[in-house]
Structure 1
């Protein structure tokens, strides 16, 4: 494929234009054409290529989202947003750098930008699983009121349970899909997960709730039934244990899913059973992670 005009080296462009007599002022129509094409293709660009976007959380990303929210073409087409932690694998202490950048973010401006997007349906927060981010993320969720949101995902996140509960309760009429992957709840010390699961029972029209490797202050949280409810539990809650390889008998994670085989009226009951049976167990990391059942 031949390179486009903007891809040509500056020297080559300058050399080409230097052969045109100056009195024809050729550089002006060239510059006008580029701006005109950018303007006239904005609508199709937004429609075909701008339905989803992802940004690492730093001040520049907030400025970009603010600009998008004010653009009449880009605003209505952006439906799926992922915000993730800034990382630099070559920089020592990259998680500290990510937190430092996040703290410079204007949370109020970021929240306003997200709320201004007319058709934002999916929000994903990813890779904020380090101490210090829980307050920042809690403050962010507290600023958000997203009337069109249907899909909510948290991937490797550390949060206070009450901040998350409030967000889910506020959007209980619209959220249909919830995915929690390595969600670490730091507070309160007791009842963090049961409180969160209780808020999920408020969702009006759920399609899927999936909880993969739930955490509590760094330990795995396991939602287990009482013995008398064993078969009832499995009717409503599907627990899949996955393994890293066939040669390793130690589970790498457990996944809890509702919605696969359950009827609509079973949602509340399934979550109630998960709440009633939640217990914290010890988690041992290493070359092969494994979960030890708690003592009776």
Structure 2
């Protein structure tokens, strides 16, 4: 199955996929200018490959695997959501164009969009795994976790591993994750969360229709999920545009550098600055995170 996804410009495929090519926790495999990863289809594993726009100003997408009848449109919507193809950032750029400090940071990254995880479950579990860990070790644990619990499929003559389903993880014992160097509490968090999803206590798809505050109220009572985890899910799972993780160290470090401060700004200071960024605080945050990397 091949199709194209029209883009709303400004859209930079190069900037948007840079993180997918360089981030240690990426689930994508780069092949030239294309990126591939496995996703779950209704009839089993699928391989999704996304390439840069050609003359039609549309992403080129190829799906390999056993598709069910009528599944094509659902997959188009999923990939379009993942790559933010219908997000119009023009109002954001117009609003921030004259900002005395942030305008250059944003202008240098024009066309940079979020790439969302294919499922909210994958986003939550990856975020829990990454709690209080450096990126490299978190990537190692994610890989081990997938190898242990995920299905495998062969595409293009090589074996690919899928991110585990809630059902696959719910069947695990805590000790199996501990054997992979997960600490006991994190093993419990991941498996218990998966069991809540499987038994219907936590209908994740219902989160799409909730406000940011309602998502916080829904997820925060779950053991192992704190505010930082929910904020990551709102950003990289749900793609909410106006979230400000004011306590995030990376954001505060970026602001310290961009503003030339001699101190790291506190959470309240960040929130005050963020008032003028609404309703695009997620994008300002994302661009500031990107500014910590010297490669644009």
TM-based fold match above 0.5? no
Q: Which has the larger radius of gyration?
A: 1
- Normalising by the residue count of structure 1, what TM-score does the alignment of the two structures yield? 0.22
Give 1 or 2: higher strand fraction. 1
- Normalising by the residue count of structure 2, what TM-score does the alignment of the two structures yield? 0.22
Give 1 or 2: higher helix fraction. 2
Higher relative CO (Cα under 8 Å, sequence separation at least 6) belongs to: 2
